Structure 1
Amino acid sequence: TVLRNVLVPLIYDNETPKDERRQKAEKALASVGLERERWHHLSNQLSGGQMQRVAIARALINEPDLILADEPTGNLDSKTGDIVLETFKKLNQEKGHTIILITHERYVAEHADRIIEIKDGRIVADKSGGNEKGMKEK
C-alpha cells in the first residue's frame, strides 16, 4: 500500500515505536497533499501525480534538510507537473527544505530562485531569480 511504501526508509529503525513511525508516514503523506482515502491503495491504483507525491513523502519521512529531485515532472502531464512543483514550493517556503531539482524543461527551471545551466559537463550559466512562482532561498 501507499502507507507501507512511505514507511520503507524506516524499516531498520528499531528505536522508534511502530505507532510513531506510522504517524511520521501519515504526516509526510498529508504534507504532500495526498488524500487520506488513497493511503491504503496499491501504487498501480494511483495516477502519475499521486505516485510522484508518494515518492516525495517517502523522501521526507526522515525529515531531510535537502531534497534532490531528478526530473520529478518528466513523465507527467503539465497540470500534474504543476501540482508537484507547487508541492516543492510549499515544502521550501513553509518547511524550509532546500530543493535541488534537475530538469531539461525551462518552464520547470523557471520555478526556482537560482538556475544553474550545465552543457557538456560544464556550467555555462548561473542565474538568480526565477519567476514570481519561485522558491525562497534559505
Structure 2
Amino acid sequence: MEIKYTILGLLLYIALAIYLLTFVTRLLRFSKLAKALYFLGFTVILIAFGYRWYQVRHIPMQNLFEVFLTLSVLIYPLSIFCRRILQVGGETTDALIAAILLVPAGFIFSAEPQKLKLTSIRPRAATRLRGHVGTSWV
C-alpha cells in the first residue's frame, strides 16, 4: 500500500472523497446536491489527469496507476451518455464505481512514471527469420 504525498495524490484523495459523498447523497435522495458533487468530482479528477499528463509529457496510459486514473476520468462522461442518450439510469452506481477505481490509483499502484527506451523497429523486423515483416515496409 502506497499513500501519495504529492499534489496528484491530494487531488486523487479529494476526488475519492467527493465520489463517496456523491454516492451517499444519492442514497439519501438529495438529487441536486448529488449531481453537483458528481460534477465537482469529475472536475477534480480531470485536473488530476491534466496534471499527470503535464508531469509525464504523454497521454497517461503507460502503467496501471495511469490506467485507473484514466478510467476514473471516463466514468462521468459515460454516465451522462448513458443517462441522456441510452435512457439508462444508475448515477448512484457510477459514483461508487468511480470511487472504487480511485482506490487502486490512490493506494495500491505506484505513481512513478516509467522510462521507456525509444528503439527502432526496422532493424529487428528485417532479420532473416522475419522476412515477411520487413517486406511489408518496402
TM-score w.r.t. length of structure 2:
0.25
> Relative contact order, CA 8 A, sep 6+: which one is greater?
2
Larger radius of gyration: 2
Please state which structure has a larger fraction of its residues in strand: 1
TM-score w.r.t. length of structure 1:
0.25
